[in-house]
Amino acid sequence: MYNLKGKTAIITGSGKSGAIGEAIAYKLASEGCNIVISDIGITKEEQFSAEHIGTTKEMDTIVSEIKKLGVNAVGISCDVRMENQVSHLMEKAKEAFGSVDILVNNAGIGYIMEPFTEFKEESWDAVLDVNLKGAFLCSKHAALQMIEQGNGGCIINIASQAAKSGFPFAAAYTASKHGMIGLTRSNAVELGAYKIRVNAVCPNHITTGLGHWQNKFFSDKMGLDYDKYLQSIVDKNPLKRTGLVEDIAKAVAFLASDQADYITGEAMNVTGGEEYH
């Protein structure tokens, strides 16, 4: 449908089974892209436990499944906080497939939530470093590669409803996602001369493994039964359901395609009508 055959797509934070990044990878693969699965790969510090990161083993499994769709795929571990690792990611992607055409900045921390007056400096740094600095570094090095190639390209940032609205216990997350929209718009203006389009997708609540953790966290904070909290999310949504990882993947595929070749600098809500700013 989207004529992406033969393009190379890098998706950061895509090594976790059942999560948004994996769904994006499968969708782009189904449209003909060669896929680079990338995640941190190994546990680091207490903020990057196996519960939340994509391990090397999971990355290998996802790569194997993607290859069954008839495209090529590789897994490349990368800590997006480290510029040398990000540069290496782009170099290895080019080495594997000859080009970098699509970057999806999906790596993020959405599992560090603390009351604002108790928010620890190390928690703030961890969230901002992954969510915003990581998107900056990956965009920078993908853009350098795309400019060298001379054929344009596409960068898609996975932001959030929290890029448009505020949420309790999520000062760092909300700040990082608001910042990601600023990065999207600035880069769209500057990189447009090279035919590089830069857009963002803003999901609302997606009940993945991370979403389950968030449901538990917020239901406990609000003193609600888990199922009642989840129902409250459904009740306030005009389409009366929670978001699916496939909803986000479809939006990414559209923005990556030629059907969106005159769209840049946008922050697309994919929220079932819940967010309209």
Q: What is the dihedral of CA 229, 180, 35, 205, to 10 degrees?
A: 10
* pLDDT tens by residue, 136-147: 999 999 999 999
Q: CATH class for domain 8-204+244-269?
A: alpha beta
Q: How far apart are CA 218 and CA 169, in angstroms?
A: 9
For residues 55-63, average pLDDT? 96
Mutual orientation of helices 56-67 and 20-30 as an angle, nearest 10°? 20
Q: Out of 2, 26, 173, 229, which one is annotated catalytic?
A: 173
> In angstroms, how far is CA 7 from the centroid of its own chain?
19
Q: Is 173 tagged catalytic?
A: yes
* pLDDT tens by residue, 150-195: 999 999 999 999 999 998 999 999 999 999 999 999 999 999 999 9
In the chain, where the domains are located: 8-204+244-269, 205-242
Residue 107 phi, psi dihedral angles, 5° rounding: -60, 135
What pLDDT shows up at residue 212? 67
Residue 43 phi, psi dihedral angles, 5° rounding: -70, 140
* Element spanning 128, H or E: helix 121-128
Whether 230 contacts 222, CB under 8 Å: no
